Amino acid sequence: MRGAALYIGALLGPSLLLLPGLAAALAGPASIVAWSGLLVLSGLLAWVFTSLGTRIGGGVAEYAAAGLGARAGRVVGWCFLSGVVAGAPVVCLIGGGYIADLVGGGMTAKLVAAALLLLVVVALTLGGARSSTAVQLVLVAVLVLLVAVAVIGSAPAGRAENWLPFAPHGWSSIGAAGSVLMLSFVGWEAIAPLTGRLRDPRAQLPRVIGAAFAITTLIYLALAASTISVLGARAAGDVPLADLLEVAVGATGPAVATTAAVTLTLAAT
């Protein structure tokens, strides 16, 4: 369970708070096609990393080194490091966007909130804070609960007419949505370093990845469909989970979503 929680946390994270709205803005209801297609590809990626994890162990840098040599492994390692350094401020912008939506202030408030979140992350990390499996299990449980409340609670407000026109920006917009959503599906390699900590990787790793794939598929599709069905023209906003929770539980919804966004942002970064 803890291994699956770490994996699900790596796959979902704060991007879940933003990407349904971005995809809807790019492709409208047709964005559900991009979600579905990428989930199929994710199944293949999950299978690939299950095979590599049980045969080679280590991480993606080790896979590249095993297949292409030590130099390629070092290049991949630096790519991952630069991706984290460049990505951390962007992740903080997601949490900052929810804070700005709650308190007002527009883009200035969003940037200030994101900068403060990044400073908190740096301070916590320098202080020795680490994300444990127990903490990740709690965060995943909270995220799943929030999505369930948002999807189920807002379901009565769904409207079939919100799915029409299905592709308002043309069918090519599905590709544009897919290129953005792809960034939600590149976390399948996150389990790789854990293979050495499993008692029986060949038996346990497929179960961990299978559970993570099933849960993430359900969450992604449910939230994407609800964003379109319930929010309609408002689906293209920056805070879709806050909007859904507002429909589901009332005025406290955005505050709950903002609290979750800040927590997930800090944990992921």
pLDDT, tens only, 32-54: 999 998 888 888 887 887 788 77
The pTM is what?
Answer: 0.80
Answer whether residue 77 is part of any domain: no
| Residue 55 to residues 62, 79, 122, Cα–Cα distance (Å) | 11, 23, 35
State the Cα–Cα distance between residues 44 and 38, nearest whole angstrom.
Answer: 10
Domain span holding position 18: 2-57+130-268
Domain count, the chain: 1
What pLDDT does residue 133 have?
Answer: 66
Answer whether residue 6 is part of any domain: yes
Answer whether residue 37 is part of any domain: yes
Q: What digits encode the pLDDT tens for the residues 75-108? A: 999 998 898 888 889 889 988 998 998 898 889 9
Task: For residue 193, name the pLDDT band (cuts at 50, 70, 90).
Answer: low
By mean pLDDT, which of 127-136, 243-252, 257-266 is the weakest? 127-136
Answer whether residue 177 is part of any domain: yes
| Residue 166 to residues 178, 251, 260, Cα–Cα distance (Å) | 16, 30, 31
Answer whether residue 45 is part of any domain: yes
How many degrees, rounded to 5, is the angle at CA 46 between CA 40 and CA 52? 145
Residue 10, domain CATH: 1.20.1740.10
Answer whether residue 97 is part of any domain: no
Answer whether residue 92 is part of any domain: no
